[in-house]
Amino acid sequence: MEGGAGSLLVLLAAIALIVVLIVKVRVHAFLALLAACFVVGIGSGMPLTEIATSFEKGVGGTLGFLAAIIGLGSILGKMLEESGGAERLAQALLDSLGKERATWVMMLVGFIAGIPVFFEVGFVLLIPLVYVVARETRINLLYLGVPLAVSLMAVHCMLPPHPAAMAITGMLGADVGKVILYGLLVGLPTAVIAGPLWIKLVCKSDAPATQEAFLDERHDARDSKALPSVGMTLLTILLPLLLMVGKTVTTGFATGSVAFQLISFVGNPLAALTIAVVFAYWSLGLRRGLSMPDLLQYTQKSFPPLASILLIIGAGGAFNSILVDSGIGKALASVLAQWDMNPIVLAWLVAGLMHFAVGSATVAMISAAGMVMPTLSAHAAPSREIMVIAIGAGAIGWTHVTDSAFWVVKEYLGVSLADALKKFTAATVVASLVALGLTLLLSRFV
């Protein structure tokens, strides 16, 4: 028992080190996770050579599955950004639903357009439309921006092919198609409740007196470039999801047929995203008059932002590997089993606390997966896919001053720190609680 308690103290010291290095010392998350790996390894008595071997195995095993997938997803997001597909989607929804339902439009656009793009990219990409609608309707920017931000955050944390969601899906050995299905079932109602419904309760729709001047400062002449059609944009965004979910849906059919083998191949995440990128090159590029050099330029621009994400995910995989190889994972599983806590709630709680502490949903999800994974064998009830959604649900919440996403939303909406905390941070907490409840409900049926 003393050994188990000592192992947990080592783990707590490693977690505390991650928080202090990232929040106080302002060290990059990759280096913080690297330091935590050595603390766990040395503190648990692992030989130094085994620590290095375990680290190498963890990084390689994690990124070997993810590097190409994340790269392909980034290309897809860049094509959507450069083509104006997200703008076309927003305009079509505004025309269909009307500007009086603009909060619902922004939530839907964020949820759909956010599938292939990162949170910050999606928000910056769509904020000009928020400005246009706010100017024309005199609606409060918070009333429009919070539903957009919450929906982007929900998709970012729960839906592959987003890097963190894809990473923990691989780490926990979950089925990608099922994670997508469950993520949609939980994520969309979450975005509705914590977006349009929440903001209606806590924020007046009328614009404050200072908003007009704020919008005048940010008024920019928009290019009148030809935008892709709504149907083609939707098909391009949803194609990889349809292929991956199609593989999951057909799992029960005869495995020996040629059709099954073909569906299984195109439904593999790597194949599905490759097909989607090739299709995007045509649908959002060549079909609209772009040349191959143009597509090469977009592709090259999509890769530099991935360096930090890949390093963090790789270090997170190493942290998980060292937890397992050091024996701390077993000690953690033994202690948590004695707590008799619902593993879904546990996964949600760990991810939420980590996000609150370090300010990165990606780091929170990777760290939580590493700590929760040893407990899976002790609990037969929740599926691995449900655990992925539970971790994502926890990571949505507590987006506050330690998170760059918080400052992006605050600055682009031009609101005070207090308003950003009361309206946006509170919305993410509501989203996290709603997502937990929906995940617990869904776990009873799957």
- Average pLDDT over all residues of the chain: 86
Q: Which residues contact 166 (CB under 8 A, 6 or more apart)?
A: 66, 69, 70, 73, 160, 176, 269
What's the rounded mean pLDDT across residues 81-86?
A: 82
The confidence band for 102, taking pLDDT boundaries of 50, 70 and 90, is confident
% of the chain at pLDDT higher than 70: 93
What's the rounded mean pLDDT across residues 360-376?
A: 82
Task: Write the pLDDT tens digit of every residue in 173-213.
Answer: 899 999 999 999 999 999 999 999 999 999 888 888 888 88
User: What is the rounded CA–CA span in Å between residue 131 and residue 389?
Assistant: 33
**Whole-number pLDDT of residue 380:** 60
Q: Are 180 and 160 in contact (CB under 8 A)?
A: yes
**Whole-number pLDDT of residue 230:** 87
**Whole-number pLDDT of residue 93:** 83
CA distances from 70 to 160, 303, 306, 433 (A): 10, 9, 8, 28
Task: Write the pLDDT tens digit of every residue in 205-216.
Answer: 888 888 888 887
Q: Which residues contact 203 (CB under 8 A, 6 or more apart)?
A: 140, 142, 143, 146, 423
What's the rounded mean pLDDT across residues 270-277?
A: 92
| DSSP-assigned letter for residue 206 | B
pLDDT at 168 over 80: yes
Other beta carbons within 10 angstroms of residue 180's beta carbon come to 25
- 84-88, 215-219, 361-365: which has the minimum mean pLDDT? 215-219
- 74-78, 90-94, 265-269, 436-440: which has the minimum mean pLDDT? 90-94
**Whole-number pLDDT of residue 197:** 95
Which runs of consecutive H residues, i.e. helices, occur in 376-425?
384-396, 404-413, 417-419
pLDDT at 225 over 70: no
Of 275 and 6, more confident: 275
pLDDT at 156 over 50: yes
